[in-house]
Amino acid sequence: MSTISVKSITKNFGTQCAVDHVSFDVYPGEIFGLLGPNGAGKTTSIRIVLDIFEPDSGEVTVFDGPMTEAKKNRIGYLPEERGLYQDIPLEYCLQYLASLKGMDKEVSHKRIDAYLERFDLNQARKKKVKELSKGMQQKAQLISTLVHEPELIIIDEPFTALDPVNTQMVKDILKEQRSKGKTIVMCTHQMHQVEQLCDRLVLINQGKSVLYGSLNEIRKNFTGNVVEVRTHETLPENIPGVTAIRHTNQNGDYMLTVEEGITPQKLLKTLINLDIQLEQFEIASPTLDEIFIKIVTKRDEGNE
Amino acid sequence: MNKTWLIIKHEYLRHVKRKRFIFAVLSMPFFVLLIVGIGMLTAIFSTNNSPIGFVDHSGLFKNPVMPEFEASLPFTKPMQILPYANEEELNAALEAEQIQAYFVINENYFENGSIVLVANEEPDSTVLRDFREFLNLNLLKDFPKDISNRLLEGGTVEVRSTDDGREMSSDNIFAFILPFLAGFLFMIAVQTSGGYLLQAVVEEKENRTMEIILTSSSPNQIMTGKVIGNLSVGLTQLVIWIIVGIIGVVVLQSNFPEVQLAQIDTRFLGLMVLTFLPAFVMIAAMMATLGATATESREAQQIAGLFTLPIVVPFWFFGVLIESPNSPLAIGLSIFPFTAPVSLPLRAAFTTIPAWQIVLTVSLLFVLAAAALWLAGRAFRLGMLRYGKKLSLKELFKKA
| The pLDDT of residue A155 | 92
In this structure, are A150 and A232 located in the same domain? no
The verdict on A228 and A216 lying in the same domain is no
Over residues B318-340, the mean pLDDT reads: 83
Q: CATH number of the domain at A135, please.
A: 3.40.50.300
Residue pair A92/A101 in contact (Cβ under 8 Å)? The answer is: no
Say which residue, A154 or B317, is predicted with more confidence.
Answer: A154
Question: In which element (H, E) is residue A61 found?
Answer: strand A57-62
Most confident of A27-41, B51-65, B121-135: A27-41
Identify the three-state secondary structure at position A16: strand
Q: In chain B, which residue's Cα lies nearest the Cα of A92?
A: B10
Residue A127: CB atoms within 10 A of its CB come to 14
B195/B315 same-domain check: yes
Q: Are residues B29 and B66 in the same domain?
A: no
CB contact set of B399 (below 8 Å; sequence gap of 6+):
none
Kindly state whether residue B258 falls inside one of the protein's structural domains: yes
User: Residues A115-169: pLDDT tens digits?
Assistant: 999 888 999 889 998 899 888 888 899 999 999 999 999 999 888 878 888 888 8
Q: What pLDDT is stored for residue A246 in this prediction?
A: 82
Is residue A279 domain-resident? yes
Please indicate if any CB of chain A lies within 8 Å of the CB of B389: no
Give A163's DSSP letter: -
Please count the residues of chain B: 400
Of residues B232, B276, B269, B271, the one with CA closest to residue B369: B276
- Contacts made by residues A293-296, CB under 8 angstroms, sequence distance 24+: A294/A222, A295/A203, A295/A205, A295/A210, A295/A211, A296/A205, A296/A210
Q: Given an 8 Å threshold on Cβ–Cβ distance, is A79 in contact with B208?
A: yes
Total number of domains in chain A: 2
Residue at A137 is within a domain: yes
Of the residues B6, B12, B207, the best mutation for testing chain A's interface (the one with the most A CB atoms within 10 Å of its CB) is B207
Same domain? B23 vs B110: no
**What confidence category does residue A186 fall into, taking pLDDT thresholds of 50, 70 and 90?**
very high
Sheet-wide strand order for A200-205? A75-78, A152-156, A183-188, A31-35, A200-205, A208-214
Among A54, A102, A144, beta carbon nearest to B400: A54
Where helices occur in chain A by DSSP H, the ranges are 42-49, 69-72, 90-100, 105-118, 134-146, 164-179, 191-194, 215-222, 264-273, 288-303
**Within-domain flag for B166:** no
Q: What DSSP line would sit under A225-285, residue for residue?
A: SEEEEE-SSPPPS--TTEEEEEE-STTSEEEEEEPTT--HHHHHHHHHHTT---SEEEE--
CA distance, residue B4 to nearest chain A CA (Å): 9
Out of A28-42, A194-208, B69-83, B112-126, least confident range: B69-83
Helix, strand, or coil here: B127?
helix
Residue B30 lies in a domain: yes
What is the structure's pLDDT at B330? 85
* pLDDT at residue B264, as a whole number: 56
Among residues B155, B181, B207, the one where a domain terminates is B155
Instruction: Choose the closest CB to A85 out of B209, B216, B387.
Output: B209
Tell me, yes or no, whether B137 and B200 share the same domain.
Answer: no
Residue A284, judged by CB atoms within 10 A of its CB (0-12, 13-18, 19+), counts as middle
If asked whether residues A54 and A165 sit together in one domain, one would say yes
Q: Is residue B228 part of a domain?
A: yes
**How far apart (Å, rounded) are the C-alpha atoms in residues A240 and A276?**
14
A41 domain-assigned: yes
Same domain (yes/no): A93, A193? yes
Residue B277: pLDDT band (50, 70, 90) is confident
Range of the domain at B98: 51-155
Instruction: Give yes or no: residues A76 and A150 share one domain.
Output: yes
Q: Does A134 lie in the same domain as A44?
A: yes
Assigned domain for A290 exists: no
Is B162 within a domain? no
* Residue A206 shares a structural domain with residue A77: yes
What ipTM was estimated for this complex?
A: 0.75
Residues A240 and A139 grouped into a single domain: no
Q: How far apart are CA B331 and CA B355, in angstroms?
A: 13
pLDDT of the residue at B111: 84
Give the CATH number, domain containing residue B149.
3.40.190
Q: Which residue of A has its CA nearest to B210?
A: A83
Partner residue opposite A72 with nearest CB, options B7, B216, B387: B216
Q: Answer whether residue A144 is part of any domain.
A: yes
Specify which residues A228 forms β-bridges with. A255, A282
Per-residue pLDDT tens over the stretch B249-260: 777 777 666 555
Q: Given this model, what pLDDT does residue B173 score? A: 59
> Is position A298 within any domain?
no
Q: Which residue segment(s) compose the domain that A264 sits in?
A: 224-283
- B184 and B218 inside one domain: yes
Determine the distance in angstroms separating the CA of A100 from the nearest CA of chain B, rounded to an integer.
6
The answer, yes or no, to whether residue B224 has pLDDT greater than 70, is yes
Please tell me whether residues B238 and B383 are part of one structural domain. Answer: yes
Residue B12 has pLDDT above 70, yes or no: yes
Model confidence at A304, in pLDDT bands (50, 70, 90)?
very low
| Boundary-marking domain end, from B128, B155, B182 | B155
- Of B208, B212, B385, nearest to A144 by CB-CB distance is B212
My answer on whether B144 and B242 are in the same domain is no
Determine, yes or no, domain membership for A15.
Answer: yes
Asked if residues B366 and B280 have their Cβ atoms less than 8 Å apart, the reply is no
Give per-residue pLDDT as tens, B29-49: 888 888 888 888 887 777 777
Q: Which of B216, B217, B386, B394 to mutate to test the interface with A (most CBs of A within 10 A)?
A: B216
Long-range pairs of B234-238 with CB within 8 A, sequence gap ≥ 24: B234/B189, B234/B190, B234/B192, B234/B193, B234/B194, B234/B196, B234/B280, B235/B189, B235/B193, B235/B280, B236/B16, B236/B25, B237/B21, B237/B24, B237/B25, B237/B188, B237/B189, B237/B192, B237/B193, B238/B185, B238/B186, B238/B188, B238/B189
Q: CB contacts < 8 Å between A and B, how many?
A: 60
HSE-up of residue A170 (Cα within 13 Å, Cβ side): 28
Q: What is the pLDDT of residue A12?
A: 86
Using 50, 70 and 90 to split pLDDT, how confident is the model at A34?
Answer: very high
Instruction: Using alpha carbons, select from A173, A167, A204, A142 the residue that is nearest to residue A31.
Output: A173
Residues 220-249 of B with CB under 8 A from A: 221
- Helix (H/G/I), strand (E/B), else coil: A24: strand
Q: Please indicate, yes or no, whether residues A207 and A261 belong to a single structural domain of this protein.
A: no
pLDDT > 70: percent of chain B: 83
pLDDT at B170: 46
Inter-chain residue contact A100 with B216, CB threshold 8 Å? yes
Q: Give A82's pLDDT tier (boundaries 50, 70, 90).
A: confident
Q: Rounded to an integer, what distance in angstroms lies between the CA atom of residue B381 and that of residue B399?
A: 12
Taking an 8 Å cut-off on Cβ atoms, the answer to whether A72 and B217 are in contact is yes
Tell me the backbone φ, ψ of residue B137, rounded to 5 degrees: -60, -40
A79 with B387: Cβ contact below 8 A: no
In the prediction, which pLDDT does B175 show? 62
CA distance to partner chain A, nearest, from residue B210 (Å): 8
Residue B355 domain flag: yes
Residue A277 near residue A232 (C-beta atoms within 8 A): yes
pLDDT category at A59 given cuts 50, 70, 90 is: very high
Position B85 in a domain: yes
Question: Are B387 and A82 within 8 A, CB to CB?
Answer: no
Mean pLDDT of the region B155-168: 61
Residue B228: its pLDDT value, please? 85
Q: Mean pLDDT highest for which of A32-46, B211-225, B316-330?
A: A32-46
Q: How many domains does chain B have?
A: 2
pLDDT at A127: 92
Q: Of B121, B155, B189, which residue sits at a domain end?
A: B155
pLDDT, position B165: 46
The reply to whether A260 and A179 lie within a common domain is no
Compute the average pLDDT of residues B260-287. Answer: 75
pLDDT in the model for residue B384 = 60
Look over chain A and give the mean of its residue pLDDT values, rounded to a whole number: 87
| CA atoms of A269 and A211, how far apart (whole Å) | 35
A194 in Cβ contact with A185 (< 8 Å): no
Considering the domain architecture, whether residues B315 and B259 belong to the same structural domain is answered as yes
Kindly report the CATH number assigned to the domain that includes residue A234.
3.30.70
The string of pLDDT tens digits covering residues A243-274 is: 888 887 777 888 888 887 888 888 888 888 88
The β-bridge relationship of strands B52-56 and B81-83 is parallel
Of A74-78, A200-204, B35-39, B76-80, the least confident = B76-80
d(CA A110, CA B361): 52
pLDDT (mean) for A161-189: 89
CA-wise closest residue to B53 among B88, B22, B23, B3: B88
> Is A50 inside any structural domain?
yes
Same domain, A126 and A169: yes
HSE at residue A79, side-chain half, CA atoms within 13 A, is: 21
pLDDT score of B263 more than 60: no
pLDDT of residue B400: 45
Q: Look at residue B204 and tell me if it is in a domain.
A: yes
* Alpha-carbon distance B207 to nearest alpha carbon in chain A (angstroms): 5
* Domain identity same for A63 and A102: yes
DSSP letter, residue A182: -
Q: What is the mean pLDDT of residues B138-166?
A: 73
Q: What is the mean pLDDT of chain B?
A: 78
Indicate the pLDDT class of residue B106, thresholds 50, 70 and 90: confident
Q: Do residue A72 and residue B213 have CB atoms under 8 angstroms apart?
A: no
